Structure 1
Amino acid sequence: MKYPLIVILSLFTLLVSYASCDKDAPILDRPDTESDNGNNNPSGSLMKIKIGSNTFTATLHDNAAAAAFKARLPMTVDMRELNGNEKYFDLSASLPTNASNPGAIQTGDLMLYGSKTLVLFYKGFSTSYSYTRLGRINDPLGLAAAVGSGNVTITFELQ
């Protein structure tokens, strides 16, 4: 009696897993143009991100967290390496949050983890964590090389 039940449960799990696959999931390392939960709308505010001799242009999102972050600019911070795909810095004060799970991180995403941790992602990957979107680097080509494998000093300023 146990064997048929195990087979049925296994087939059901396989069927549910297959049905939940999203064929339109975003491709990693490529900016998406879809809106997710109304929190991915660029406001048109441009920001410069300076890393050594490299300068990247980013577009801030239209949300309370991005507005609060923008009000603190210019800002130069020493960002720490984490997981071989991101740099982070703990802010001295909290920013407003509207966290959601993006499903996939894109190269160049600038996000807030919790209410105080600023995160710049230099490699894309799937995630189960929730973040508040702040902005995204418009052309992240060369970002991974610019930030390197260790801690790095980064300046954020309005353009």
Structure 2
Amino acid sequence: MIFPLLFFSASFASCDKDGSAPGNPNVANNNNNNPNPTGRQMRIKIGTRTFTAILYGNATATAFKALLPLTLNMSELNGNEKFFDLAASLLVNAANPGTIQTGDLMLYGSKTLVLFYKSFPTSYNYTKLGRIQDVAGLTAALGSGNVKITFEVE
């Protein structure tokens, strides 16, 4: 009977009070694999187009939301994504999603914001932030080069 009680209390000691893993302040236990958005909407403006995205219910998405509004000059990479290196690191809980979907908004490492505009399999790890609900016209709006994108709370 004492063993389960010790195991249970030890499991609480494995995380800091703020939800980060001990020893690494940039790693969060933020349920990165939650496939269902929480209903937190944000607007993503690209030129004359506006897209609605849903932020996931994790610590990284919450920290990103606190930075909004942001207008970023995002760079083209690999013909399938736009990226921008944020000034400060965010908490991470990176995992391999297996397949990137058009409209995914993720964090690569602790500082690189990535917006994907094509679906493809990946071997890289990302922390999920959210995704664009209706991706119709996203690829055309982003174009083939660098682009200015505004992220704001709806």
Same-fold call, TM cutoff 0.5:
yes
The match for 1:66 is: 61
Which runs of no fewer than 5 residues in structure 2 stay unpaired? 1-30
Q: Which structure has the larger Rg?
A: 1
Please give the secondary structure, in 2, of the residue aligned with 1:43: coil
1:158 maps to 2:148:
no
Match of 1:45 among 28, 40, 43: 40
| CA offset digits 1:130-150 (Å, max 9, x no partner) | 000000000011100000000
* Structure 1 Cα separation of the partners of residues 89 and 35 of structure 2: 20
| CA offset digits 1:53-104 (Å, max 9, x no partner) | 0000000000000000000000000000000000000000001101000000
* Structure 2 Cα separation of the partners of residues 78 and 37 of structure 1: 26
Kept in 1: contact 2:32–2:128 (CA 8 A) = no
Q: State the Cα RMSD in Å.
A: 1.1
Dislocated runs of 4+, deviation >2 Å: 36-41
TM-score norm. by structure 2 comes to 0.78
The match for 2:97 is: 102
Kept in 1: contact 2:90–2:111 (CA 8 A) = yes
1:132 maps to 2:132:
no
Aligned length: 124
TM-score norm. by structure 1 comes to 0.76
Percent identical residues: 70
Which runs of no fewer than 5 residues in structure 1 stay unpaired? 1-35
Kept in 1: contact 2:32–2:94 (CA 8 A) = no
